[in-house]
A and B are shown apart, each in its own frame.
Chain A
Amino acid sequence: DTEVTQTPKHLVMGMTNKKSLKCEQHMGHRAMYWYKQKAKKPPELMFVYSYEKLSINESVPSRFSPECPNSSLLNLHLHALQPEDSALYLCASSQVPQGSGRGQETQYFGPGTRLLVL
């Protein structure tokens, strides 16, 4: 099973709302990622969690707040977003790479949450 699930599939929110995106995987992966993807662009890395600890924050504005409550779940809390934050938000997971060349570097993506900020 290489499935990463994300909810909701679609989300419309106003600039004063607070909402959360959820991601779940049961592959035993201990690295999880949030990406933002705009139309006709590649995914842009936002955050990386490794062993449930935040290891990378790619200078993302504080209106995006990630959380990793356990090894299977990843949340992204949204507050006071701007219209330019409208995008497809993708979650991914992988094994924690050890440099062995055995494919641990491959990331498996969820279907994404399409977010529209009005």
Chain B
Amino acid sequence: QKEVEQDPGPLSVPEGAIVSLNCTYSNSAFQYFMWYRQYSRKGPELLMYTYSSGNKEDGRFTAQVDKSSKYISLFIRDSQPSDSATYLCAMSAVGYGLTGGGNKLTFGTGTQLKVEL
């Protein structure tokens, strides 16, 4: 079993739809959760960061973390064609960086999203 599972899609939605992207994980030590957006042939762009459980909202994007279920979500409201990209969840464990070793992210496989006109 992979540490982080993410439905690879592709997911196709009409413009204006609400999109729900999800990841499940198995490592209960994960405390830091991120969502990245990656356009084709570009580097990942940080969208959202959440520490521990809870919700965080930024414009049309809402990130949710449910640590009891080991489940995180990214919601995109009023989706636009420009949202068409691959969305990667990433997470890391508390304390990993305390030895000064940087931070190791564990990524999901990415969900390919297409928002159609």
A45-B105 contact in complex given A51-B100, A97-B96, A101-B31, C-beta closer than 8 Å: yes
Q: Name A59-112 residues within 8 Å CB distance of B.
A: 88, 90, 94, 96-99, 101-112
Residues of the B chain whose Cβ atoms lie less than 8 Å from the Cβ of A7? none
> Is B97 within 8 A of A114, CB to CB?
no
* Contact of A56 with B102 in the complex, beta carbons under 8 Å: yes
* Given A90-B44, A109-B44: A48 and B102 interface contact (C-beta under 8 Å): yes
Q: Is the CB of B109 within 8 A of A99?
A: no
Number of chain B residues whose Cβ lies closer than 8 Å to a Cβ of chain A: 32
- On whether the beta carbons of A106 and B104 are closer than 8 Å, the reply is no
- Given the interface pairs A90-B43, A99-B95, A109-B45, the reply to whether A42 lies near B101 with Cβ below 8 Å is no
Number of residues of chain A lying within 8 A (CB) of chain B: 37
Are the C-beta atoms of A97 and B98 separated by less than 8 Å? yes
Q: How far is the CA of A105 from the CA of B92 in the complex (A)?
A: 8
Contact with A along B29-41 (1 / 0, CB 8 A): 0011010100001
Chain A binding surface SS class:
loop
Closest to B33 in A: A105
The answer to whether the Cβ of A20 comes within 8 Å of any Cβ in the partner chain is no
B104 CB contacts on chain A under 8 angstroms: 45, 48, 56
CB 8 Å contact bits of B95-117 with A (1 = contact, 0 = none): 11110111111011110100000
Could you list 23 A-B pairs, sorted by A, with CB under 8 Å? A31-B102, A31-B103, A40-B112, A41-B109, A42-B109, A45-B104, A45-B105, A55-B100, A55-B101, A90-B44, A94-B102, A96-B102, A96-B103, A97-B102, A99-B94, A99-B97, A105-B92, A106-B46, A107-B46, A108-B46, A109-B36, A109-B43, A112-B41
Interfacial residues, chain B to chain A (CB-CB below 8 A)? 8, 31-32, 34, 36, 41-46, 49, 51-52, 88, 92, 94-98, 100-105, 107-110, 112
